[in-house]
C-alpha cells in the first residue's frame, strides 16, 4: 500500500472523514478485539476503509454501486498494469469514439465558439447550453426554450446518433443525458469513449479503470462543490445571467478528460493492499448487517446521513455511469407533472430512511438492533448542529441517539475528537455539512 491512500480524495464527497481518520481508528482500537475485521457500514467514497486497511481486515458496505467500485479499486492490488498510453490510444482509435466525435462535431465547435464569445462579453449563448443543453430533455420534451441555432445543432446530433444506431445505446448515454449541463459536449463525448473501453475490460482492470473514470468525472464536473445535485444556476433571483460564474464555467469546461483520466489510472494502478483482506458488499445497511454473520467482524463503524438531503442526489451521475444503463428520469414532482428534473435524476434513485423524518428513528433502531445481534461494538459518527442558527437540523439529535443506543448497549460514550467542518454545497444549502462545532463519535458496547 502506498502512503498516498490516507490523503487521496477519490471523488469530491460531502462529509468526508479525511481529517478525522486517526480519531476514528483510536476509538475503534479501544473497543475492537484484535484479529477481526472492521465493517465500514456506509463506506461512501471509501476514505475510512482505505485508511483502516493499512492496519487490518476491512469490510466496506454501501448501497451505491459507485462506492463499491471505488473501494475495490482502491484496496485491491493489480499485479501487472497495462501502459496508460496504450490504453488511451485504444480508446481514441476504437470505432465508437470516432462515431461519437462525428455525431457531436458541430455541437462541440459551437460550444467552443460560445466560450470564446463569452470571454469577450457575450455570455448568453454559453449559459444557454448549461440551462437547456441536455439532448435527453430535448428528445423527450421538444422544449421551445432554445434558440434556433442551439436547437438545430442538438437535433443534428440526435439525428446523427440515430443514423449510427447509437441514439438509444449506453455508448452515448453520458453525451445525451449530461452533456451541456454537467460537462462540455467535448468532455461528455470523451467520457463516453472511455466508458466504452472500460466496459470491454474484465476483472480488476475493469474495476480500476471504472474508478478512474468516476474520479475523472468528479474532478471535471462543472457545478458548485463538484457534486451532481444540479447543474449550475446561471441566473440570479431577478433572472439575470451571473457574470461571476464565467471563470468557473470556462475553467471547468476546459479540463482535458484524457489527461485527468491518465492521472487517475496511474493512481488506481499503483494502490492496493496484499497484506490484509478486504470485502465489499453493495446492499442496504440492514441486509448487509445480516450478511456480516458470515464474517469475522470485530467492530462496526457507521457514518449514516442525518439530514433530509439524500446522498444519492449528489452522486447520481456516478451511479448511472457504474450501472451503465439508460435510466428513466424523474419528473419535478412525484405526480409526474412539472417536466423532467433539470438535474436528470434517476427515477429509482435510492432514498435513505435515515433522511426521511418519519423513518429516521426506526432506521437507527434497526442499526442498533442488528449490530447488537452481532455481539460487537459500534462506533457511530455524528455531526452536531446549532439549532439557533438558520440551518436544517439533524433528523435525530445526539441526545436522542444516546438514549436510543442505551436501549441496546450497556455502555455508551461520546467522544469529541476535535472541531471539523465539512464540504458546503452552495449558499442555499450551506447547512448540509458545514460550520458545526465538532464531529462526535458515539462509542457503543
DSSP secondary structure letter of residue 44:
T
User: pLDDT for 324-341, tens place per residue?
Assistant: 999 999 887 655 556 888
Residue 383 pLDDT level (bands cut at 50, 70, 90): confident
Predicted confidence (pLDDT) per residue in 47-88, tens digit: 999 999 999 999 999 999 999 999 999 999 998 999 999 999
| Average pLDDT for 186-194 | 98
The confidence band for 351, taking pLDDT boundaries of 50, 70 and 90, is confident
Complete domains list, the chain, with CATH: 18-77+271-310+351-444 (3.40.50.150), 84-207+220-255 (no CATH)
Those residues with Cβ within 8 angstroms of residue 83's Cβ, 6 or more apart along the chain or in another chain: none
**Residue 310: band (very low, low, confident or very high) from pLDDT cuts 50, 70, 90:** low
Cβ neighbours of residue 168 under 8 Å, at least 6 residues apart?
326
Q: HEC string of 186-241?
A: HHHHHHHHHHHHHCCCCHHHHHHHHHHHHHHHHHHCCCHHHCCCCCCCCECCCCCE
Structure-model confidence comparison of residues 273 and 269, the more confident one: 269
Average pLDDT score over the chain: 89
Between 438 and 280, the more confident residue is 280
d(CA 260, CA 219): 8
Instruction: List beta partners, residue 418.
Output: 439
Amino acid at each position: 500500500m502506498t502512503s498516498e491512500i490516507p490523503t487521496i480524495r477519490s471523488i469530491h464527497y460531502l462529509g468526508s472523514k479525511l481529517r478525522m481518520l486517526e480519531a476514528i481508528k483510536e476509538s475503534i482500537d479501544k473497543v475492537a478485539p484484535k484479529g477481526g475485521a472492521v465493517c465500514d457500514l456506509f463506506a461512501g467514497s471509501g476514505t475510512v476503509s482505505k485508511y483502516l486497511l493499512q492496519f487490518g481486515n476491512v469490510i466496506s458496505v454501501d448501497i451505491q454501486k459507485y462506492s463499491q467500485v471505488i473501494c475495490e479499486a482502491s484496496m485491491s492490488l493489480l499485479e501487472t498494469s497495462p501502459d496508460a498510453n496504450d490504453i488511451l490510444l485504444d480508446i481514441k482509435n476504437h470505432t465508437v469514439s470516432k462515431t461519437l466525435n462525428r455525431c457531436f462535431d458541430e455541437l462541440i465547435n459551437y460550444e467552443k465558439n460560445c466560450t470564446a464569445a463569452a470571454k469577450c462579453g457575450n455570455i448568453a449563448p454559453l449559459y444557454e447550453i448549461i440551462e437547456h443543453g441536455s439532448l435527453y430533455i430535448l428528445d423527450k420534451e421538444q422544449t421551445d426554450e432554445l434558440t434556433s441555432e442551439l436547437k438545430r445543432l442538438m437535433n443534428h446530433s440526435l439525428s446523427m446518433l440515430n443514423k449510427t444506431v447509437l441514439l438509444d445505446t449506453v455508448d452515448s448515454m453520458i453525451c445525451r443525458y449530461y452533456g451541456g449541463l454537467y460537462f462540455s459536449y467535448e468532455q461528455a463525448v470523451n467520457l463516453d469513449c472511455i466508458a466504452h473501453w472500460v466496459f470491454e475490460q474484465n476483472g480488476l482492470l475493469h474495476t480500476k479503470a471504472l474508478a478512474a473514470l468516476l474520479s475523472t468525472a468528479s474532478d471535471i464536473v462543472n457545478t458548485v462543490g463538484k457534486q451532481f445535485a444540479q447543474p449550475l444556476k446561471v441566473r440570479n433571483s431577478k433572472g439575470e445571467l451571473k457574470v461571476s460564474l464565467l471563470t468557473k464555467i470556462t475553467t471547468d469546461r476546459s479540463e482535458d478528460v484524457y489527461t485527468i483520466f491518465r492521472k487517475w489510472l496511474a493512481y488506481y494502478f499503483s494502490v492496493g493492499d496484499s497484506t490484509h483482506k478486504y470485502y465489499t458488499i453493495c446492499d442496504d445497511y440492514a441486509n448487509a448487517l445480516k450478511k456480516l454473520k458470515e464474517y469475522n467482524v470485530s467492530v462496526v463503524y457507521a457514518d449514516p446521513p442525518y439530514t433530509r438531503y439524500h446522498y444519492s442526489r449528489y452522486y447520481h451521475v456516478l451511479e448511472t455511469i457504474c450501472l451503465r444503463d439508460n435510466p428513466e428520469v424523474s419528473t419535478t414532482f412525484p405526480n409526474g407533472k412539472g417536466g423532467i428534473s433539470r438535474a436528470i435524476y434517476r427515477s429509482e434513485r435510492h432514498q435513505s430512511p435515515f433522511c426521511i423524518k418519519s423513518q429516521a428513528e426506526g432506521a437507527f433502531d434497526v442499526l442498533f438492533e442488528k449490530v447488537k445481534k452481532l455481539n460487537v461494538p459500534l462506533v457511530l459518527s455524528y455531526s452536531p448542529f446549532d439549532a439557533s442558527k438558520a440551518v436544517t437540523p439533524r433528523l435525530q439529535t445526539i441526545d436522542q441517539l444516546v438514549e436510543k443506543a442505551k436501549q441496546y448497549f450497556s455502555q455508551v460514550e461520546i467522544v469529541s475528537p476535535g472541531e471539523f467542518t465539512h464540504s458546503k454545497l452552495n449558499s442555499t444549502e450551506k447547512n448540509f455539512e458545514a460550520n458545526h462545532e465538532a464531529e462526535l463519535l458515539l462509542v457503543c458496547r
